[in-house]
Amino acid sequence: MKLKKIGLTGKIVIGMFAGILFGLILNTLISGAPDSWIKLILVDGILRLVGEFFITSLMMLVVPLVFVSLVVGTCSMSDPSKLGRIGGKALLLYLFTTGIAVSIALAVASIVKPGSGGSMADQDVTFEAQQAPSFVDVLIDMVPRNPINALAEGNMLQIIVFALLFGISMALVGKPGERLKDFFEDINAVIMKLVMILMQVAPYGVFALLARTFADLGLGELLGDLAVYFVTVLVILLVHGFIVYPAILSALTRLSPVIFIRKMLSNQIFAFSISSSNAAIPVTLRTATKRLGVDNKIASFTVPLGATINMDGTAIMQGVATVFIAQLYGIDLTMQQYLMVILTATLASIGTAGVPGVGLIMLAMVLQQVGLPVEAIGLIIGVDRLLDMTRTAVNITGDAMVTTIVGKSEDQFDIDVYNDPDAGLNADGTLQGGESDRAK
């Protein structure tokens, strides 16, 4: 009997588990010998080279992909005024899911009490929070003073705004816009083909990234004093990604949540490995259009927007961390403070969009609002890397879920593609790519 060829998802899964196992072996070998050749040549040399080369290659495509795809999607709309409605729906859904995420986190953490029995007496904590911009400043900075500079620096909100305005102008200008549209569609097809080419080396990139991560971290910290905190955050993240999101999708669209999760699995594993929502945009966008059946007009807007402002995973971390730190210091939070955490975390998901170290900045804002010491963030940094990987997987799942809901509500959705388990896949299980969306 002929064995079925392993698809890309299977290869990525194999690369993930092999990388974790190899990393733990390396961690055992280099413990106590940080200057060994294994650390210098293998971990910080070969594994770093392969992993960072893969991430850099993906990041190389993010800006041109987001800009070109969004321009194509916008100028293809027969009624550009739909953008306001689509944007409003997407924004409300992202804020709604963030509010749910932090509420669940606070409720569970209050019951589990991850910081009970702890003491700050012997702890050496140092953390200097980066200053977050005000919400008004973020709104002002959404419009780029220099679009070329915004593209060069990868400022996603500014790129989205410029691409929307550029696409609307193309739709309204007539013949010149139609000629330019064909040009952008050809570029879009080429970029998508390049994405698919890079995805062929994804299993090796995933292996290198996880091997280096676990070689550096090991499991020692996760089995110590932070174990309860770590497990609490991890379980809530999994519940939010695999139960809350599918439940919202089913309630608002009546689509099968099982199909959604099954089609998102490879994307989740990929996002977990690279720990970057922005770097995952090319794959999330392709999954939304080719696997979930959402029209590119919708997905090209909601996916980059979600990668910029959807912070559900970070909101969960903030909720648990706030309760954890309060319990360590022996401080009882009032109901008013709990509500303040929910409001701050939800609004901060927009207010800190595009800022480096966004998760810790948002947590610093939350702690300041409820009067807890910001320097205590230094306690959880040690295990935050692994949780950040899981948060990324949760966030891109939310991006795809909101994209699917908005697409179906706008009648820009193909139910046959959604229900087809093999939709968008080649014979070897890889995502199809490279075709222009003009054929639609």
Residue 253: which residues within 8 A CB-CB, separation 6 or more? 404, 405, 408, 409
DSSP β-bridge partners for residue 294? 413
**What are phi and psi for residue 313, nearest 5 degrees?**
-60, -40
In three-state secondary structure terms, 421 is: coil
**Distances 193 to 183, 261, 434 between C-alpha atoms, Å:** 16, 25, 4
Nearest-angstrom CA–CA distance, 317 and 232: 9
* Average pLDDT value over all residues in the chain: 82
* Over residues 284-293, mean pLDDT: 92
CB-CB neighbours of 416 under 10 Å = 8
Per-residue model confidence as pLDDT tens digits over 116-175? 765 544 444 444 445 556 667 767 777 889 999 988 888 777 888 898 889 888 888 888
The pLDDT confidence band at residue 363, using thresholds 50, 70 and 90, is: confident
The mean-pLDDT minimum among 218-227, 252-261, 388-397, 399-408 falls in 218-227
The pLDDT confidence band at residue 320, using thresholds 50, 70 and 90, is: very high
| Residue whose structure tokens are 């070329």 | 148
Would you say residue 347 has pLDDT above 80? no
DSSP letters of 269-319?
A: HHHHHH--TTTTHHHHHHIIIIIS-B-HHHHHHHHHHHHHH--HHHHHHHH
Taking alpha carbons only, the member of 93, 410, 395, 439 closest to residue 290 is: 439
The pLDDT confidence band at residue 274, using thresholds 50, 70 and 90, is: confident
Determine the pLDDT at residue 357: 55
Share of the chain above pLDDT 90, in %: 26
CB-CB neighbours of 83 under 10 Å = 17
102 token code pair: 């932090």
Q: Are 241 and 393 in contact (CB under 8 A)?
A: yes
Q: Are 400 and 292 in contact (CB under 8 A)?
A: yes
The pLDDT confidence band at residue 346, using thresholds 50, 70 and 90, is: confident
| Residue whose structure tokens are 């939010």 | 240
The pLDDT confidence band at residue 416, using thresholds 50, 70 and 90, is: very high
| Residue whose structure tokens are 């993930």 | 16
Determine the pLDDT at residue 3: 47
* Over residues 251-257, mean pLDDT: 95
The pLDDT confidence band at residue 409, using thresholds 50, 70 and 90, is: very high
* Over residues 337-362, mean pLDDT: 71
Nearest-angstrom CA–CA distance, 336 and 122: 30
Considering only residues 331 and 102, tell me which one the structure prediction assigns the higher pLDDT: 102
CB-CB neighbours of 109 under 10 Å = 25
Nearest-angstrom CA–CA distance, 414 and 28: 50
The mean-pLDDT minimum among 62-71, 130-139, 267-276, 411-420 falls in 130-139
Determine the pLDDT at residue 132: 54
379 token code pair: 């306690």
Determine the pLDDT at residue 57: 85
Chain centroid, CA 334 distance in Å: 32
* Over residues 189-199, mean pLDDT: 83
